[in-house]
Amino acid sequence: MCEFDSLILALEKWFDKPLSAIPREAQERIERDFRPMPWDAWSPDQRRSVAAQWDYRHDPATELERQYWWDLFCRKDALENQIREWEKAATPTASDLAQKETRLNELRKELGRMEQLGRQVQSHHIPEQVNIDGLTGGPAATGAASFQYVAYPKAMKLLADRLNAIPEELAAWIFYGTEHGGISAYTNANELSPPPKFFYGYHTGTEDYIAPLMACWFREEDVLNFQPDERYITGNALIERWSKQRGIKPIAFIRAKIAESRLMDMHPIFGGTEAIFSEMGSFPPLETGLFAMSYVRAIEAEDFEVVLPDVLNENAPSRAPKPLIENATNFGNDEKPWLIQNPDDPDPKYPWFTPARFFARALIKEDVTLLTKRDILARKVADALKKVGLMKRGGKKPFDPATVKKALSNVVLG
């Protein structure tokens, strides 16, 4: 593969020079890659900005990000088309009118969130577009104000005590920002005044959106007075919540609601999850996504015709078995819950699949991050099987983690 030839690096020495003073080789590059941009009519900063835009469009390292934006804008365009169609729909009856208004409200809310997603991430990662009539200016400087800042642990405790918030919710509030009912976070508030604002880095190679919060600071008055416009639930918690409805396969149901534009999955780093971009293969699992509770409650009221209790962030009883791994060998012969098949699971190919799934769920209840760490989860399950005497054929060697992973495929573990 050819090494990427950056335009901004090739011209770094010449941005402040007129075209006539630039070596012929660099002139040829300008004529080829800047056309029809007028080099001599623009300022050095404008020339550098055009070069940065060229690099962004041609660098193989940005291909995945550019595909993401293409998919996002295609989905946004489809939403706008749906809104136009609904706006033209006839409403001969009051029921038709109510349905139209409800659907338009849902579509407009999702469109608004997608536009916010575009502003929040695009403004931080995509090179600023050049204003041909003059440089695009940044925000006007404001007078310095004195604020008291608190580090993440204290801010999280205050929000948890007052709002029963969890770190995942805080991540969502930061992602959406104050413009959409969220909150602002900052970095290095202990040493810089004013501190720079914190933004999530797009597609930074990790799915973990909690770890970056460890470096965040917050204005104390913001935290003490914060009243969120929206509450959020993780994909893992939503799967558990809806798995209690009879006849519902929660993952398939969530995907269906996303396809209907009635539910939106959000991930602070990737924008969305594999539920939207399944064909791309590089997006985080649905379980790690965040979902607006207003959408969740609307679906429950309309599709389930029930109002489920809000156990969003409480230590509510779970349908998953209580973790029993450490004391597994203490059970008598008549009390081996790992041998009882979960009714929602497909029939096990081998008898040991059932206890493997049982212990996987128990481990995930102890550490939900194992949902996205399947290799580690498989090793822990293999150890749990060994503790209760379940071994390979012959009863001497423990199961290989790679083999254990087969038992965990196509089942809801969280």
DSSP 337-377: GGGSPPTTSPPPSSTTHHHHHHHHHHHHHH-GGGGG-HHHH
In angstroms, the CA 292 to CA 172 distance is 9
Pair 152, 186: CB distance under 8 Å: no
Distance separating alpha carbons of residues 167 and 147, to the nearest angstrom? 23
Q: How far apart are CA 287 and CA 264, in angstroms?
A: 13
- What's the confidence (pLDDT) of residue 330? 40
CA 51 from chain center: how many Å? Answer: 31
In one letter, which amino acid is 391?
M
Which pLDDT score, from 0 to 100, does residue 91 have?
A: 85
Mind giving me the DSSP string for 127-182?
A: PPPP-TTSPPP-PPP-------EEEHHHHHHHHHHHH---HHHHHHHHHH-GGGT-
How high is the pLDDT of residue 372? 73
Q: What are the residue ranges in the chain where pLDDT is below 50?
A: 1, 121-144, 203, 279-280, 314-334
pLDDT (0 to 100) of residue 290:
94
Report pLDDT digits (tens) over 303-314: 887 666 555 554
DSSP 3-state assignment of 232?
strand
Q: Is 271 helix (H, G, I), strand (E, B) or coil?
A: strand
Measured in degrees and rounded to the nearest 5, phi and psi for residue 102 equal -65, -45
* Structural element, H or E, at residue 105: helix 94-125
The predicted model scores a pTM of 0.48
Radius of gyration for the alpha carbons in the chain, expressed in angstroms and rounded:
26
Residue 306 has a pLDDT of 67
3-class DSSP state for residue 198?
A: coil
Q: Is 335 exposed, middle or buried (0-12, 13-18, 19+ CB in 10 A)?
A: exposed
pLDDT digits (tens, 9 = 90+) for 163-217: 999 999 999 999 888 878 899 999 888 888 788 888 886 545 678 899 999 999 9
Where residue 306 falls (left for φ over 0; alpha for ψ -120 to 50; beta otherwise) is beta
pLDDT digits 0-9 by tens, 255-266: 999 888 888 888
pLDDT confidence of residue 64:
65
- Residue 128: other Cβ atoms inside 10 A: 13
Give Cβ neighbours of residue 318 (< 8 Å, ≥ 6 apart).
240, 365
* pLDDT digits 0-9 by tens, 318-329: 333 333 343 343
CA pair distance 51, 30, nearest whole angstrom? 9
For residue 318, how many other CB atoms are within 10 A of its CB?
15
